Amino acid sequence: MNKRTQVGIIGAGPAGLLLALLLAREGIDSIVLEKRSRKDVEATIRAGVLEQGTVDLLIEMGLGERMQREGSVHHGIELRFDGVGHRIPLTELTNGHAITLYPQHEVLKDLVAARLGQGGELLFNVEHAQLFDVNSSQPRIHYTHEHETVELQCDFIAGCDGFHGVSRTALPQSISTIFTRSYPFGWLGILMQAPPSADELIYAYSERGFSLVSTRSPELQRMYIQCDPHDHIARWSDEMILEELQARLTTIDPWQLRIGPIIQKSILAMRSFVIEPMQYGRLFLAGDAAHIVPPTGAKGLNLAVADVRHLAHALTAFYQKQRNDLLEAYSATCLRRVWRAEHFSWWMTSMLHRFPDDDPFQQRMQRAQLDYTVRSRAAAISLAENYIGLPLDW
Ligand code: APR
Ligand code: PHB
């Protein structure tokens, strides 16, 4: 079967879904092809920190109702080291900006509902997506859906299929460069049925390694501890995890981690990755398909949002004003913000983790950096402006 659309979108993560909605707003037609089921997409647990710019965009698009009701606005974070917590007052340091904690899979539920509510095409369980002729004016996607093989003719293809997707492979190696770093540690993440232990997120550095206390809801908490990336989750009993969290978060003043049953645990690898350029012919990569950050800076979802905003803007200028310039500038425009976030995430990661080969000098460097960050207003402002997110047109 043959089909046609203006923009063929591969992947129904935050990038692909938001792009489809942004384009629909401008009267641009798209089809979103997703390999997983709706249930899987809506159940995948990821981070949940939304920058102010992401929140503003979702509200402006009429997608913010549940987020504003169920999410929680945070005006600061804590950096904890040497048994003492230091608050970074994000809002005070950034002229009134804040972050919102609202889990990514809840964002996805809202985006899927909005797309389907508009009657827009969004296909789940799509198999064997393959890209053809991306360097021509008639790029195509072949895929199988409900046992039917389809050739989808497009004006443009948006590769929004995440780090393990197929789109990136359509960029010839001869014109692209990959920049990457893998870290010698991972994060063991848990979901715990317990009330929050603190009003704000705690990023803790300790001799035993990094830990993070985050939240999902008044009844459910998300926490992480640095671990060996090759470790097996089965080796970590709930008791071991709790003991490690408590040891790493211990304070001189009384403070208690509130605990409860652990209902989910898994280990994630940590990586930095960028492909340049993010476009080739009529193929445009967005989100994790083009770049990965370690989760320490909480930037992944927000970067994906910034990319598709630029892409939607550029495609709108093409269709409504016959302008090519924004499309041509897409990669360079996105990469400026991507590299800023890459640096910030790498910096936070380097400051807060124990490295297997670090020595006493290296540890003193980390302490000096932490101390400077919490004692100097200039240093704290730098962390805060990056954490709450630079303006979308950065
Ligand atoms: N065909 C169709 N869909 C695919 C294919 C394929 N060959 N390969 C991957 N996908 C789908 C995945 O199943 C996933 O639902 O593409 C989607 C990509 O979504 P994400 O990985 O969430 O990537 P992105 O939308 O760029 O979002 C970036 O969200 O996932 C987090 O850590 C990520 O926070 C970051 C942000
Ligand atoms: C999360 O809530 O999952 C989370 C929060 C902050 C991070 C990373 C993950 O930096």
* 14 within ligand 1 shell (Cβ under 6 A): yes
Q: Is 319 a catalytic residue?
A: no
Pick the CATH number of 2-72+100-179+271-357 from 3.40.47.10, 3.40.50.2300, 3.50.50.60, 3.30.1490.100: 3.50.50.60
Q: Please tell me the distance from the alpha carbon of residue 193 to that of residue 340, in angstroms, as a whole number.
A: 35
Looking at residues 183-210, what average pLDDT do you find?
Answer: 97
CB environment 139-157: b (16+ within 10 A), e (fewer): bbbebebeeeebebebbbb
| Nearest protein CA to atom 36 of ligand 1, as residue | 301
Q: Which listed ligand is nearest to 142 at the C-alpha?
A: 1
* 301 within ligand 1 shell (Cβ under 6 A): yes
Q: Are 92 and 387 in contact (CB under 8 A)?
A: no
Q: Is the pLDDT of residue 191 over 90?
A: yes
Average pLDDT over the chain, rounded to whole? Answer: 97
| Nearest protein CA to atom 9 of ligand 2, as residue | 47
Question: Could you say which of 74, 310, 313, 353 is catalytic?
Answer: 74
The CA 260 to ligand 1 mean position distance, Å, reads: 31
Place of tokens 């008639």: 138
Burial (CB count within 10 angstroms: exposed 0-12, middle 13-18, buried 19+), residue 280:
buried
pLDDT digits (tens, 9 = 90+) for 163-187: 999 999 999 999 999 999 999 999 9
Which ligand 2 atom is at minimum distance from the Cα of 216? 2
Token pair, residue 8, equals 């063929």
Q: How far apart are the first and last CA of the chain?
A: 43
Question: Could you say which of 203, 205, 224, 280 is catalytic?
Answer: 203
For residue 343, what pLDDT is reported? 98
pLDDT digits (tens, 9 = 90+) for 334-393: 999 999 999 999 999 999 999 999 999 999 999 999 999 999 999 999 999 999 999 877
Question: Could you say which of 102, 183, 224, 387 is catalytic?
Answer: 387
Q: Which listed ligand is nearest to 74 at the C-alpha?
A: 2
Which ligand 1 atom is at minimum distance from the Cα of 15? 25
* 71 within ligand 1 shell (Cβ under 6 A): no
Q: Is 295 a catalytic residue?
A: yes
| Ligand 2 shell residues, CB under 6 Å | 47-49, 201, 212, 214, 222, 295-296, 298
Q: Is 299 a catalytic residue?
A: yes
The region, left, alpha or beta by phi > 0 then psi within -120 to 50, assigned to residue 310 is alpha
Q: Which listed ligand is nearest to 157 at the C-alpha?
A: 1
Q: Are 116 and 42 in contact (CB under 8 A)?
A: no
Q: Please tell me the distance from the alpha carbon of residue 206 to that of residue 363, in angstroms, as a whole number.
A: 10
Question: Is the pTM here over 0.95, yes or no?
Answer: yes
pLDDT digits (tens, 9 = 90+) for 253-273: 999 999 999 999 999 999 999
Picking from 297, 245, 337, 352, the residue whose alpha carbon sits closest to that of residue 49 is 297
Q: Please tell me the distance from the alpha carbon of residue 99 to that of residue 122, in angstroms, as a whole number.
A: 30
Tell me 365's DSSP state.
H
Q: Where are the domains of the chain?
A: 2-72+100-179+271-357
